[in-house]
Homo-oligomer: A and B are copies of this chain.
Amino acid sequence: MLRSHNCEELRLTDAGNTVTLCGWVQRRRDFGGMSFIDLRDRYGITQLSFNEDYNVELLNEARSVSREFVVKITGEVTERSNKNPNLATGDIEIVVNTLEVLNPSLTPPFTIEDDTDGGEELRLKYRYLDIRRNPVKEKLLIRHAANKSIRNFLNGSDFVEVETPYLIKSTPEGARDFVVPSRLNEDQFYALPQSPQTFKQLLMVSGLDRYYQVVKCFRDEDFRSDRQPEFTQIDCEMTFVEQSDILGLFEKMVRNLFAESVDYDLGDIPVLTYADAIKTYGSDKPDMRFDMTFKYLTDVAKGYNFGIFDNAESIIAVNASGAASLTRKQIDAITNYVKRPQVGAKGLIYCRVNEDGSLKSSVDKFFDQEALAKWVESCNAKPGDLIFVMSGDLAETQKQMNDLRLHLGDLLDLRTKDTYKACWVVDFPLLEWDDETGRYHAMHHPFTSPKQEDFDLIETDPKNVRANAYDMAINGMEVGGGSIRIHDKELQQKMFDLLGFTKEKAKAQFGFLMNAFEYGAPPHGGIAFGFDRLCAILTGTESIRDVIAFPKNNMGRDIMIDAPSPISKEQRDELGL
């Protein structure tokens, strides 16, 4: 090694030793006859000291190096007079004997400090410099720790990592595939996997019992703010399991992950049915960090000649505890928020519970104190609380109330960054109706099994069939999902029929899986976690881009290497493109 120690490991007990360090110049401070350099590497910072009394030539050399120069020094570990308790190495400094510049550096296009002056595009272009900054580096290190924690847990639970292929077959259901032209098979294409779903099911048919893989998946979507064309999945599958086994095991895995990688106790993970989640939170991925659950005023708020309520299918309230002090202006801003087209509410009604117990609502014309008292009772509101109410079509109002609830959570600081709350949502509907295509789509995917007790609804009332499907959400974000799969060929065929696959199409696309079901397919189920999303949550960042070493921008471009890019005529010719 070019160094004897890294920049984090020297302590007072090393004083007197001669050491060699390599690293980057974080900063240099010049005083009268002396200079100090903070030398940085991945592990930490060590102070280098130069003094004209000791070696004036060396001092001059030191003064010729600038930020981000790579240097190698030897010197003596010495106790610092002016100790820095915030630095692991803060008790010592190196009195330098020799200094070698291993590589100079131009002035970086943005400052390499925790708080930088660089905009996102610039930092993406020079991502290799951005990673030198602690907040970026730390996220990659936490990602590594998370990867290790998950692997250790799964390895210890008899899971076998199996690498499934990346060059597979296009199945143009759902999202778009990225395709790869085959040079040796004219006019034919591989596809990059959107998930290893069918392969992991085949591994269960093969008897491997428990499979996992940390695996890249690909989706050619129109990019939105927080999508990446390639993303990483923690993909798992188990044989001879029931839903409760999967929930139990992966609750452990995720609790373990939070404990090991960010030292956080996630606590027990509650299980909600999809129906309850929608009823209580208006969302299948509720943010459980705060309560503010939905209360239904449909029974108590009708019949007061307030047409909007009287004509509404549902009237839903939330109680913003302690929010009575919100000003009229603030309430107007909230009203405008829910009236934005993205939320789409027609209006917002409030009822303030004053400290003296009196009630003040925006519909006092229709509702007297007695009528409003029923709202307060339904919402369990106390003096100082503020009740918000919306009404209309049930599903629409639930959706709008969810938006409102999350918005209030933000405003009232109830969605704190350093708090994590997870939940399971189970019993998802098997199918959802798609108006555009005029047929059912699988809510999870076509391999998800219906609940046995709902089997007879498949023919008569498909949309009320519940699936053995489950999602995990943390802080209102879906982080994982899975299901108990179909392992019976007839049921799988019925499912394909329901989804409008012709027999030919089902055979062409999934014939190998249907075939496999003929040869002793065991009951099995699994789950996949979005690893980028998990890491974003663990590191307290909004964007998955922050936890990806070399992310693409919103147009799917890697602006550092400038990809995608044109290819040569020879390449196109060879591929017949």
A contacts, CB < 8 Å to B: 1-3, 6, 22, 24, 40-43, 68-70, 72, 102-106, 108, 126-132, 137, 140-141, 144, 147-148, 151, 155, 160-170, 172, 176-185, 187-192, 198-199, 202-203, 205-209, 216, 218, 220, 222-223, 229-230, 232, 239-242, 245, 487-488, 511-512, 516-523, 548-550, 552, 555-558, 560-568, 570-571, 574-575, 577
CB distance from A117 to the nearest CB of B (A): 16
Closest 3 CB pairs of A and B: A131-B206, A105-B520, A169-B563
* Chain B residues, Cβ within 8 Å of A137: 206-208
* Chain B residues, Cβ within 8 Å of A184: 222-223, 555-556
Let me know if A181 and B183 touch, CB within 8 A: no
Let me know if A172 and B42 touch, CB within 8 A: no
Let me know if B488 and A166 touch, CB within 8 A: no
* Chain B residues, Cβ within 8 Å of A519: 68, 105-106, 108, 126, 128-129
CB distance from A146 to the nearest CB of B (A): 10
* Chain B residues, Cβ within 8 Å of A242: 1-2
Determine which residue in A137, A141, A183, A570 has the highest number of CB atoms from chain B within 10 A of its CB, and name it: A183
Let me know if B567 and A205 touch, CB within 8 A: no
Known A-B contacts A164-B550, A548-B163; the reply to A220 vs B106 at CB < 8 A is no
* Chain B residues, Cβ within 8 Å of A179: 180-181, 567, 571, 575
How far does the alpha carbon of A558 sit from the alpha carbon of B182 in the complex, in Å? 12
Let me know if B106 and A550 touch, CB within 8 A: no
- Give the residue of B69, B169, B207 whose beta carbon is less than 8 angstroms from that of A520: B69
Let me know if B565 and A170 touch, CB within 8 A: yes
Let me know if B566 and A165 touch, CB within 8 A: no
* Chain B residues, Cβ within 8 Å of A188: 564-566
Let me know if A207 and B147 touch, CB within 8 A: no
Q: Copies per complex?
A: 2
Give the nearest-CB partner of A67 in chain B.
B520
Let me know if B550 and A165 touch, CB within 8 A: yes
- Give the residue of B70, B245, B516 whose beta carbon is less than 8 angstroms from that of A521: B70
How far does the alpha carbon of A157 sit from the alpha carbon of B351 in the complex, in Å? 61
Give the nearest-CB partner of A159 in chain B.
B144
How far does the alpha carbon of A147 sit from the alpha carbon of B154 in the complex, in Å? 13
A-B contact pairs, 14 of them (CB 8 A): A22-B240, A106-B519, A127-B202, A129-B205, A140-B162, A165-B552, A167-B178, A167-B230, A167-B563, A168-B563, A169-B561, A185-B555, A187-B566, A199-B550
How far does the alpha carbon of A296 sit from the alpha carbon of B62 in the complex, in Å? 56
Known A-B contacts A487-B103, A550-B164, A577-B577; the reply to A522 vs B155 at CB < 8 A is no
* Chain B residues, Cβ within 8 Å of A163: 216, 232, 548-549
Let me know if B128 and A1 touch, CB within 8 A: no
Let me know if B206 and A166 touch, CB within 8 A: no
Give the nearest-CB partner of A40 in chain B.
B207
How far does the alpha carbon of A40 sit from the alpha carbon of B208 in the complex, in Å? 11
Let me know if B561 and A512 touch, CB within 8 A: yes
Let me know if A190 and B575 touch, CB within 8 A: no
Let me know if A520 and B70 touch, CB within 8 A: yes
Known A-B contacts A68-B520, A522-B70; the reply to A549 vs B2 at CB < 8 A is no
Let me know if B105 and A176 touch, CB within 8 A: no
CB distance from A192 to the nearest CB of B (A): 7
Let me know if A131 and B203 touch, CB within 8 A: yes
CB distance from A151 to the nearest CB of B (A): 7
Give the nearest-CB partner of A549 in chain B.
B162
How far does the alpha carbon of A165 sit from the alpha carbon of B202 in the complex, in Å? 27
Give the nearest-CB partner of A169 in chain B.
B563
How far does the alpha carbon of A570 sit from the alpha carbon of B177 in the complex, in Å? 12
Let me know if B522 and A22 touch, CB within 8 A: yes
How far does the alpha carbon of A477 sit from the alpha carbon of B520 in the complex, in Å? 39
- Give the residue of B127, B180, B571 whose beta carbon is less than 8 angstroms from that of A180: B180
Let me know if B128 and A516 touch, CB within 8 A: yes
CB distance from A524 to the nearest CB of B (A): 10
Known A-B contacts A169-B565, A206-B129, A206-B132; the reply to A556 vs B520 at CB < 8 A is no
How far does the alpha carbon of A565 sit from the alpha carbon of B182 in the complex, in Å? 9
How far does the alpha carbon of A118 sit from the alpha carbon of B474 in the complex, in Å? 49
CB distance from A340 to the nearest CB of B (A): 28
* Chain B residues, Cβ within 8 Å of A172: 567-568, 570-571
CB distance from A239 to the nearest CB of B (A): 8
CB distance from A108 to the nearest CB of B (A): 6
* Chain B residues, Cβ within 8 Å of A575: 179
Let me know if B240 and A520 touch, CB within 8 A: no
Let me know if A522 and B102 touch, CB within 8 A: yes
- Give the residue of B102, B160, B198 whose beta carbon is less than 8 angstroms from that of A144: B160
Let me know if A207 and B563 touch, CB within 8 A: no
How far does the alpha carbon of A512 sit from the alpha carbon of B127 in the complex, in Å? 10
* Chain B residues, Cβ within 8 Å of A170: 565, 567, 571
Known A-B contacts A206-B128, A207-B132; the reply to A144 vs B169 at CB < 8 A is no
* Chain B residues, Cβ within 8 Å of A577: 181, 577
